[in-house]
Every structure is written in C-alpha cells, then in structure tokens.
C-alpha cells in the first residue's frame, strides 16, 4: 500500500518517492544543493545527507602495487588518504621474503590471488621496473599505469616521489 501509519501520522510513500526523484533530477541537471533544497522545500543538509546515504563511490577504483620501495609507509598513508582501495607495496627485503618463505605452489597460488583481485579495479598502478610494468600490462589486460623506478633487475629500495604519485592518482580518479 502507498500509505504508512506511524503513530498519529499518515505517510505517503508516493509523495516521498516523488520528492526524491525531483531532488535527483535537479541535482543531475546541475542545480546546487541549496538551489535544489529551495525548489523542493527542504533543508540543504537533507539533500547532502540523501546524497551521502546513496553514494557508492566517487571516481574510478584504483589498485596500487609496487616494489621495491624505500618510503613504503609514507606512500601507503598518502594512498589511503586518496581513497585507493587496494595497496600492495613491498620493500626489497619484503619482496624477497615473499618469494623465499613459500613453496612454489604457495607462491603461484598467492600470485594468482593477487592478479585476480587487482583485475576487479578500473586502473592498476604498477610501481616497479620497466620489465615488471610490461609484464603487468600483458597479464592484467586492462588499464595499467606504470611508474618506472628503474630498469630490471632493480636491486635495493627506490624512493618514490609521494606528491607525483598523489597527482597521478588524483588524475586517474577524475578521468
């Protein structure tokens, strides 16, 4: 039924749905939250809360995978601030531990899990050698953006410019 009783109040679902549709239509046509609220007869904060309630995601979904990076913690912090959902960064020591502490089958399975996971993202940023970037492009078959930190094979950790990476991520989200 279209009507709902809440205590002494009789609420019309049709009226609520019609108002919501009007709010969304105005916002999609470029009206500000304030202009929309004025036209519909609600508070601007209601329009804002309504959008927040229904928001799924702004921009594109990004994964960042990289090694060997010297400033891992700093990069991870910045990437989280920028809303990157999947981050896998390793130092040189961590990447070798990743390989050495697993059997061949365990390593293969874990690499396949990582590939399957990052394929769910719109863009994958690969921080690594020229060779790793090229292989990643072939393996992932989707938009891969490479941040080259040296020619293969890279020995030792490499510093990644945090602000350049931040700028890249922001550009990818907005595209």
Per-residue model confidence as pLDDT tens digits over 156-165: 999 999 999 9
Tokens of 23: 């709010």
Residues of the chain with pLDDT under 70: 1, 55-59, 142, 175
Specify whether 156 is located in the same domain as 108.
yes
Do 48 and 79 reside in the same domain of the chain? Answer: no
Distance (Å, whole) CA 47 – CA 143: 35
**Residue 33 lies in domain:** 3-54
The answer on 72 and 50 residing in a single domain is no
Are 168 and 141 contained in the same domain? yes
pLDDT at 58: 55
In this structure, the answer to whether residues 39 and 75 fall within a common structural domain is no
The reported pLDDT for the residue numbered 21 is: 93
Q: How far apart are CA 81 and CA 132, in angstroms?
A: 26
* Calculated CA dihedral for residues 82, 98, 141, 125, nearest 10 degrees: 20
Exposed, middle or buried by CB within 10 Å (0-12, 13-18, 19+), for 135? Answer: middle
Asked whether residue 83 falls in the same domain as residue 139, the answer is yes
- Residue 95: give its domain's CATH number: 3.40.50
DSSP designation for 69: B
Query: Is the same domain home to 26 and 46?
Result: yes
pTM of the shown model: 0.66
- Evaluated on CA atoms 25, 26, 29, 33, the torsion sign reads negative
**Do 23 and 67 share a domain, yes or no?**
no
Q: Are 81 and 166 in the same domain?
A: yes
Contacts of 14-21 spanning 24+ positions with Cβ under 8 A: 20/50
pLDDT at 99: 93
50 plus 66 within the same structural domain = no
Q: Report CA dihedral (53, 58, 60, 66) to the nearest 10 degrees.
A: -100
- Within this chain, do residues 96 and 152 fall inside the same structural domain, yes or no? yes
pLDDT at position 59 is 63
Residue 161: the pLDDT is 97
**Distance between start and end Cα atoms, the chain:** 44
* pLDDT computed for residue 168 by the predictor: 94
The pLDDT assigned to 55 comes to 60
Q: Are residues 133 and 153 in the same domain?
A: yes
13-28 vs 44-54: helix crossing angle, rounded to 10:
90
pLDDT at 143 (0 to 100): 85
The residue with tokens 């994958």 is 124
Domain count, the chain: 2
């Amino acid at each position: 039924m279209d009507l709902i009783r809440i205590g002494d109040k009789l609420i019309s679902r049709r009226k609520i749905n019609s108002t919501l549709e009007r709010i969304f239509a105005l916002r999609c046509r470029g009206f500000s939250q304030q202009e929309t609220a004025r036209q519909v007869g609600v508070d601007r904060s209601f329009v804002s809360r309504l959008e927040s309630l229904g928001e799924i995601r702004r921009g594109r979904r990004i994964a960042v995978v990289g090694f060997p990076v010297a400033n891992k913690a700093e990069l991870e912090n910045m990437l989280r601030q920028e809303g990157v959902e999947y981050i896998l960064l390793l130092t040189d020591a961590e990447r070798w531990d990743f390989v050495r502490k697993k059997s061949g089958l365990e390593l293969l399975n874990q690499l396949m899990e990582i590939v399957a996971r990052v394929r769910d993202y719109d863009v994958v940023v690969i921080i690594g050698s020229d060779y790793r970037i090229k292989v990643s492009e072939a393996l992932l078959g989707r938009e891969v953006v490479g941040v080259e930190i040296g020619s293969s094979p890279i020995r030792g950790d490499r510093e990644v410019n945090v602000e350049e990476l931040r700028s890249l991520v922001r550009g990818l989200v907005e595209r």
